[in-house]
Amino acid sequence: MEREWLRRYRAPLPRGAALSSYDARWYVVATSTSREYEVEELLRRDAFEVWLPERIVVKPVSENSRRRTRQPIRSKVPLLPGYLLARFDLSDTTWHRIIGTRHVEGLLGSMNRPVALRDHDIEMLHTLIREHGGIVELRADGTVKRDWVANEAVKIINDALAGAWGGHKGQYVGVDPQGRIKIELDILGRSQILLFSEALVVPVS
């Protein structure tokens, strides 16, 4: 999920790079390893609007565990390790304080300027997290865990990864061994089953 979502945003912008003016948008802040929560706290103290999406990690109980309940251990970690989101206007020079914050490696960008996230990317994240009660739970292979219902009406989101199928509606059929979602679509009057990454499928509200 992380690679699919972030791969269009290249290496972190180096400190001191020249930047143009934009309206307030969401940008990706790269942090030092395992310093996401510390950076989040520092930026909030500095009055920046910050968003750190989270996921749940479920760690199986070891066979030699002495825990009485022997229940899996659940803990919260960043959904996108090494990254968090900050919203600001590049025409306001106060954003430079982000670059100077301890454990911040830089802003993700290309050609010596930061790249703002598309509104679609932000909405996709919001939808994903809203559907899971605020925190996304992932399977062991990194795919989103969701309780799909047989014959549930779904839609393929409009994304480059969905290709020509973006926006099409169909019905949920099941999951293949690789964790891809089987969707039944009406194609030229014929019912066909196609496979999609779970990140590209949303229920029809």
Q: Do both 28 and 96 map to the same domain?
A: yes
Question: What are 54's two structure tokens?
Answer: 């989270």
Higher pLDDT among residues 123 and 131, named by residue: 123
**Residue 179's domain spans which residues?**
153-203
Q: Do both 125 and 35 map to the same domain?
A: yes
- Structurally, the chain folds into a number of domains equal to 2
In a domain? residue 148? no
Q: Do both 40 and 129 map to the same domain?
A: yes
Residues in CB range of 43: below 8 A, 6 or more apart:
29, 50, 84, 86, 98, 101
pLDDT score recorded for residue 138: 57
Select the highest-mean-pLDDT range: 68-77, 99-108, 136-145.
99-108
- Give the pLDDT band of residue 3 (cuts 50, 70, 90): very low
Rounded to a whole number, what is the largest CA-CA distance in the chain? 59
In a domain? residue 144? no
Tens of pLDDT, residue by residue over 46-91, are 999 999 988 777 665 554 455 555 566 777 888 888 999 999 998 8
As a whole-number percent, the residues of the chain with pLDDT over 70 amount to 72
Task: Measure CA 80 to chain center.
Answer: 6
Q: Which residue, 121, 102, 88, 82, is CA-closest to 39?
A: 102
Q: Domain boundary at 104, 137, 170, which?
A: 137
Indicate the pTM of the whole model: 0.57
Helix (H, G, I), strand (E, B) or coil at 4: helix
**Mean pLDDT over the full length of the chain:** 77
In a domain? residue 77? yes
Q: Domain boundary at 137, 167, 192, which?
A: 137
Q: Do both 84 and 169 map to the same domain?
A: no
Higher pLDDT among residues 115 and 104, named by residue: 104
Q: Do both 130 and 43 map to the same domain?
A: yes
In a domain? residue 76? yes
Is pLDDT above 90 for 43? yes
- Give the pLDDT band of residue 152 (cuts 50, 70, 90): confident
In a domain? residue 195? yes
CB-CB contact of 157 with 124 (8 Å)? yes
CB-CB contact of 181 with 196 (8 Å)? yes
Mean pLDDT of 117-129: 79
Q: At 79, which amino acid appears?
A: L
Q: Do both 32 and 95 map to the same domain?
A: yes
